[in-house]
Structure 1
């Protein structure tokens, strides 16, 4: 898809479909539209064909006064400025409405849209991101896949200076490209997407961008380094675990580090999960997928920062070499862990990766991303990812970034009061803290490996994918939050 910007008036643009959004009631019509076009819309409103209700669409052929062949009206359902989330949903409806036509070219006039706490560049960036993201499809394994939409070019009409508008659209589409990569990896079936496959994808990503370098660690290498927690999870599978380290150099100073959990399939190990919905445990690598996607977005944007991104990948399987409840393992940090539940494996692979990235790179900040706990889904549902941090400034930076792009997080407590739930009579700690506050105690576990660095943990178990039915699939979150956070660091 070709995404462009134009400063032309809506009546002048020769496209197959022009999109205009109207507020609830559709009483105030944009002065930028010709008089005959406004009269046409007024008649549709008077006749009850269009009311401006939320996501309502009306397609008009050969509209009077326009050079466009079609006019698509889309309702905002509001008579007040939209928040970012509502605007993203509106943009998705715009994209869906255009895709349902036979239009090969389309344009969306943004001149009458207000979004809370967003300037013109922000509106344009998020519009481009949402429209591009709405076109995502994953149907490579379907024999009855629907034909691709006819649309080839999408233009955003904006009064911003050309260079600023072009930069905003490029940023939005770069983030959407990162989300698409994260979705592709998350949706990929687990018999295809295993640790070695992720290494192949990492090599392909590094080959695509000169500023990106890749290092890998095999399971054997990790064992020699002393990553006993990671290896305790990986050894239960016939497929070796793998660790990938991306190095992106675009600026000066210590790097920011991202660490993603990549359990490519999670049976629970010896602590076997129930069979219902176990197919969705292919999504237990969505933290890793979001790291891939964020790295791609950063490379596309060419951000002037230094970044190191670690993907720690393994399958959690219950064979004869798998860890047992009661086993004790020694982590790379030297601390020991009593494994009380082998289904609390994500924190085991992460803790060694967190130690590794601190030892090798001395980052200015570390953010880990993981589909870590079902408790987080119970606490926050699918709307916000949990944000834990030992640094209030880092937590706030992530929360602000999420608010700016509609990929929201929510602050969670990381009080010492919870730490005692991880006490073990035989090791330095247990890998679970009992049935209470499960997401918090998981974060407390990770905090024991990040005491000397500014660190945040994103539990994305509720936001990384949509469960069940025809809508099931990876969401690409939190690529927007992470990319926006890094853009803010870079002053963009």
Structure 2
């Protein structure tokens, strides 16, 4: 699907020939004399349309309107979040077989509003078909975003379109069954990203991982016949002297729990345990489009966690790459075991910031549900940057504590540290475990167990937190380039506005 940006007023939007024209109607709607305004005003007056986000009225080939279908859509106060929710509520309209070209009229839109609308339409029209040969994808081929002042939102629009490509990649690979998203297949996907400018990829196999001394990672993988892969991506957008931001994504492509096997119900959803990895891959897809002036390293330890005669057992002690020994009290706390070795590896790049992303704990779901990701950070400035990026991207997070007292439960009689500390504050103690392996570099951990996918009838990957991470990186790239030429400074100002508001 292609997105286009076009200068339109409401009267001009009425003349656009398309299959679907979406006209948001906000609180305090002030109608003009054009045909669409008259229709919306009448519908509001008669009570056939309400401005509550998602409330809508379908019109078919109304007089003096070029579109075959018109959707008058309530958008509440007209904020980016309200418009996003409204567009998602009418996803069936974007997926309708007869809808190939759509126009979404936004009028005097802010950069944040345009970004929210692009992302919402992409999400609303997404259909998973990879392993459903008889299913049909949405026929939507082109979506035109109509705005009053195109120049003011062009940068935000371009960023949003790139972000959508990254989110869709993360969503698609998160949704794939584990036998269609093996560690080797993730590695091939990463290699394909290296076809883009400034991106390089290196894939380490079991032998290389063993030589690196990643004993914790190796221990998790040994219960599966699928060979592990340690994926290393580099985006080189700035001077090589600039310290990179390192992103580490958990890539458990299926998690049975190992010997500490999970309950049967909903175990199929453990294919989503690689959504941290998928988010890193999605970020690199977006970077390939935008080419910002920043250096980024992506690290993905990828393997399965399965039980067999060689599998890791409760009570085993393994030696991590850092040299610290770990008593494995629960083999279902495997994500932190593969991440700890990847985090140790990450320190060799002397990162300006180190961020890991993982569907790590059910405890985080209990704490925050599916609304906000859990954010842990050793650096207040880094935490503030990530929180602001999440707000801008409508991809929210919430900072959680890292008090040293939480580490008490990780003490072991038989190793330097245990991999679990009991049920209380389970998400916090998992973060405290990871903190042992990051050295003195500014570090943040995003627990996305509640936000990376949805269950029930809406089961599927969300593509989060690609939006948060991309906004974070773009903001850092902008802040690191204070001495560009005036024309480029103006372009950066547009990006800053999009990051601050969208």
Q: CA deviation at 1:95?
A: 5.1
Residues 2-41 of structure 1 correspond to what in structure 2 (within 5 A)? 2-13=2-13, 14-16=16-18, 17-24=20-27, 28-31=29-32, 34=34, 36-41=35-40
Q: How does 1:366-385 map to 2 (within 5 A)?
A: 366-385=354-373
- Residue 22 (structure 1) shift: 1.3
Is the CA contact (8 Å cut-off) linking 2:393 and 2:468 kept in structure 1? yes
The 2-side partners of 1:40 and 1:426 are apart by 74
SS in structure 2 of the partner of residue 490 of structure 1: helix
Tell me which residue corresponds to 1:319.
Answer: 308
1:287 corresponds to which residue? 276
8 Å CA contact 1:398–1:485 kept in 2: the answer is: yes
Q: CA deviation at 1:94?
A: 5.3
Q: C-alpha separation between the residues in 2 aligned to 1:322 and 1:40?
A: 66
Of 169-178 and 339-348, more deviation after overlay is shown by: 169-178
Contact between 2:249 and 2:279, CA under 8 Å: does it hold in 1? yes
**1:147-226 to 2 correspondences below 5 Å:** 147-162=136-151, 164-207=152-195, 209-226=196-213
Unaligned runs of 5+ residues in structure 1 are 114-119
Superposed CA offset, 1:153-193 (max 9, x none): 2111112343x533322211211111111111111111221
State the superposition RMSD in angstroms: 1.8
- CA-CA distance at 1:98 after TM superposition: 4.2
Query: How is 1:68-107 mapped onto 2 (pairs within 5 angstroms)?
Result: 68-76=67-75, 78=76, 80-82=77-79, 84-93=80-89, 96-100=92-96, 102-107=98-103
Aligned residue number for residue 468 of structure 2: 481
| Cα deviation, residue 321, structure 1 | 1.1
User: Counterpart of 2:257?
Assistant: 268
Residue 127 of structure 1 aligns with which residue?
117
CA-CA distance at 1:299 after TM superposition: 1.3
Query: Structure 2: 5+ residue runs without aligned partners?
Result: 479-494, 496-502
Whole-angstrom distance in 2 between the partners of 1:434 and 1:152: 51
- Matched residue of 1:110: which SS? strand
Matched, 1:63 2:62: yes
Q: Which shifted more, 182-191 or 37-46?
A: 37-46
Query: Cα offset for 1:468?
Result: 2.5
- Could you tell me how far 1:62 is from its partner in structure 2? 3.2
Paired residues for 1:405-424 under 5 Å:
405-424=393-412
Q: What's the CA shift string for 1:36-62, capped at 9, x where partnerless?
A: 443333333343322233312212233
Q: For residue 259 of structure 1, give the secondary structure of its aligned residue in structure 2.
A: strand
Deviation at 1:420, TM superposition (A): 1.1
Tell me by how many angstroms 1:232 deviates. 0.8
Q: Give the 3 Å change call, closer, same or farther, for CA 225–244 of structure 1 in structure 2.
A: same
1 CA distance for matches of 2:381 and 2:92?
Answer: 39
Q: 1:188-232 CA deviation, whole Å, 9 max, x = no partner?
A: 11122111111111111222x121000111112111111111111
Relative distance call for 1:101 and 1:19 in structure 2 (3 A) is farther
1:110 to 94, 106, 114: 106
The answer to whether 1:457 aligns with 2:445 is yes
2:490 is matched with none
Q: Residue 484 of structure 2 aligns with which residue? A: none
Residues in 1 aligned to 2:48 and 2:218: alpha-carbon distance in whole angstroms:
63
Alignment CA distance shift 1:15-1:432 (3 Å): same
Task: Pick one of 428, 432, 442 that aligns with 2:416.
Answer: 428
The more displaced of 372-381 and 167-176 is: 167-176
- Equivalence for 2:500: none
The CA distance in 2 between the partners of 1:90 and 1:307, in whole Å, is 35
| Shift in CA distance, 160/38, structure 1 to aligned 2, threshold 3 Å | closer
Query: Does the 8 Å CA contact 1:15/1:106 hold for their aligned counterparts?
Result: no
Gap change, CA 1:438 and 1:37, over 3 Å in 2? closer
Aligned to 1:232: 219
Distance 1:425 1:171, change over 3 A: same
Map residues 280-359 of structure 1 onto 2, 5 A cutoff.
Answer: 280-359=269-348
TM-score when normalising by structure 2: 0.90
Of the structure 1 ranges 369-378 and 84-93, higher mean CA displacement relative to structure 2 is found in 84-93
Deviation at 1:452, TM superposition (A): 1.5
> What are the superposed Cα offsets for residues 396-449 of structure 1, whole Å, 9 maximum, x if unpaired?
111110011110000000010111110011111100011211100000000001
Residue 339 of structure 1: how far off its partner (Å): 0.8
Tell me the CA shift for residue 455 of structure 1. 0.3
The farther-off stretch of 305-314 and 93-102 is 93-102
1:246 aligns with 2:233: yes
TM-score by length of 1: 0.92
Cα distance in 2 for partners of 1:434, 1:28 equals: 54
Confirm or deny: 8 A CA contact 2:355 2:445 kept in the other structure.
yes
Q: Contact 2:10–2:105 at 8 Å: present in 1 too?
A: yes
SS across alignment from 1:292: helix
Deviates further, 90-99 or 14-23: 90-99
1:136 equivalenced with 2:138 (yes/no): no
| Cα pair distance change 1:225/1:386, threshold 3 Å | same
Q: State the match for 1:117 in structure 2.
A: none
Q: CA-to-partner distance for each residue in 1:310-362, whole Å, 9 max, x for gaps? A: 01101111111111111111111111111111111100000000000112x11
